[in-house]
Structure 1
Amino acid sequence: MALGHIFLPATVLVFFASLALAFDPSPLQDFCVADRNSQVFVNGVACKNRTQVTADDFFFTGLDNPGNTSNKLGSFVNLVNVDKLPGLNTNGMSVARIDYAIGGLNPPHTHPRATETLVVLDGLLYVGFVATDNKLYSKVISKGEVFVFPIGLVHFQFNNGTCPAVAIAAFNSQNPGTVRVANALFGTRPPISDGILAKALSVDTNVTSYIKSQFQ
């Protein structure tokens, strides 16, 4: 079956699953379209004047387009959160398309505000997450299969197949956030000192200094 034929049904399935697990605060009105121009800072995004809301505020196009995976990691994440789709505001969900080249990696990271449900549309992925007792839960999943990454836990996806892969991810937050483990340790501004990193990782400071240089 062509990818395009399964894209819409799979996306709808993941969206309904995300709705059932909505995590962000429930809305107290029909909708609260995000006002990108508001100077009001709240836990979320201020509402756009209802008289200015249009159908386009609830619409996004482009998830059918493959992402550019010609980078060091060989992966590309097209996240549709409240910043791209203002109608998601207060609805407790967002969605992403993830493309993987052969050998492509979505590196170890966390989503501090959301559980992630991943469904493979094409290809083969080795996926996993690490629990707080440092146990790894991992599995190889293929087209039509689903895997869940619990909120806040470090997880990853790796294309260990023989062809490019693509997946759709749904999150139970309008803004799940992403913290890449390597970037959080070695790519901060200002940087964490080599002494702290070396002690935490039980390595020499020359090692931490070299790794830092890869994130500049």
Structure 2
Amino acid sequence: MMRTSFLIFFVLSLILSSSYAAVQDFCVADYTAPQGPAGYSCKNPANVTVDDFVYSALGVPGNTSNMIKTGITTAFSSQFPGLNGLGVALARADLAVGGVVPMHTHHGASEIVLIIEGTITAGFISSDNKVYLKTLKKGDIMVFPQGLLHFQVNVGDTPALEFVSFSSDSPGLQILHTALFQNNLPTDLITRSTFLDTAEIKRLKALLGGTN
């Protein structure tokens, strides 16, 4: 009897879960509702349109007139509502000659870069401090495992373009130099914890807007 009851419960659970999945094909982000730890709330399906699943910003070159000579355009769930909850995202990086995507990490996603134009040296550092470094050309792809520090530099004599995919719709980002020098973390503590020269730390704080 218990076995029969369990079988009936199991079958009903499958039917109910399948029915739930069938009506939950997507969760388009509702930017007017509060955002929780799991992401954006779902937009009422009655108000969802095809435009929620289309995003055109990656077709426009990014502005490279900045300190790093790189323009990055993202298609994350915070800009592209149809991505919400799907576990994927894209970005475009335009690198002028000498442009760089500084050392950074994504705590919530692995990353794959596809070189469209130019020559880019890219690399990452594993948790045992081994460096994986490669100069990439048009058509090459490289993967950066989740949570590891990585970077890209345009080492060619022409502008470079790459498209980037992530295994999360909100991959998160922490840039190493802004984490150290673009806030009010005391210079003395940075000196002690990084062994960098105090004068250099102050120079970088002045350059990046840090204080203290």
Q: TM-score, normalised by structure 1?
A: 0.84
For 1:112 and 1:175, locate their aligned partners in 2 and report how far apart those are by CA, in whole Å: 10
For the residue of structure 2 that corresponds to 1:199, the secondary structure is helix
What root-mean-square deviation, in Å, do the aligned CA atoms of Structure 1 and Structure 2 show? 1.4
Report which stretch shifted further, 96-105 or 198-207: 198-207
**Which of the residues 63, 70, 88 maps onto 1:75?**
70
Q: Which runs of 5+ in 2 are unaligned?
A: 1-19
Partner of 2:15: none
Cα-to-partner distance string for 1:24-74 (whole Å, 9 max, x where unaligned): xxx952010000000252421110111111111111013222111111111
Counterpart selection for 1:140 from 135, 144, 147: 135
Give, in angstroms, the shift of residue 101 of structure 1: 0.3
Between 1 and 2, higher relative CO (CA 8 Å, sep ≥ 6) is seen in 1
CA distances 1:140-187 after superposition (whole Å, capped 9, x unpaired): 000000000110111000000111000000001001011100001111
Candidates 95, 100, 103, aligned match of 1:105: 100
| Alignment partner of 1:121 is 2:116 | yes
Matched residue, 1:211: 204
Q: Tell me if 1:166 matches 2:172.
A: no
Distance 1:210 1:145 in 2: 37
Q: After the TM superposition, which segments of 4 or more aligned residues of structure 1 sit over 3 Å from their partners?
A: none
The answer to whether the aligner puts 1:94 opposite 2:89 as a matched pair is: yes
CA distance in 2, matches of 1:61, 1:204: 45
Q: How far 1:133 sits from its partner (Å)?
A: 1.3
Q: 1:210 to 1:107 in 2, by over 3 A?
A: same
Equivalent position SS for 2:33: coil
In structure 1, the residue matched to 2:144 is 149
* Paired position in structure 1 for 2:52: 57
1:203 positional shift: 3.2
Instruction: Name whichever of 94-103 and 205-214 sits farther off.
Output: 205-214
CA displacement, residues 175-209 of structure 1 (integer Å, 9 cap, x when unaligned): 10111000011112xx1111110011213433322
Partner of 1:23: none
Segments of 5+ residues of structure 1 without an aligned counterpart are: 1-26
Q: How many residues align?
A: 188
Deviations, residues 79-111 of structure 1 (Å, cap 9, x unaligned): 100011101011000000100001100110111
CA contact (8 A) 2:34 2:40 kept: no
SS state of the match for residue 152, structure 2? Answer: strand
Q: Secondary structure at the match of 2:208?
A: coil
TM-score (norm 2): 0.85
Aligned to 1:3: none
Q: Distance in 1 between matches of 2:197 and 2:142?
A: 37
Q: Does 1:180 align with 2:175?
A: yes
- Higher helix fraction (1 or 2): 2
Which of the numbers 20, 29, 34 marks the counterpart of 2:29?
34
Q: Which whole-Å CA distance do the structure 2 matches of 1:103 and 1:171 have between them?
A: 25
Partners of 1:117 and 1:149 lie apart in 2 by: 6
Percent identity reads: 38
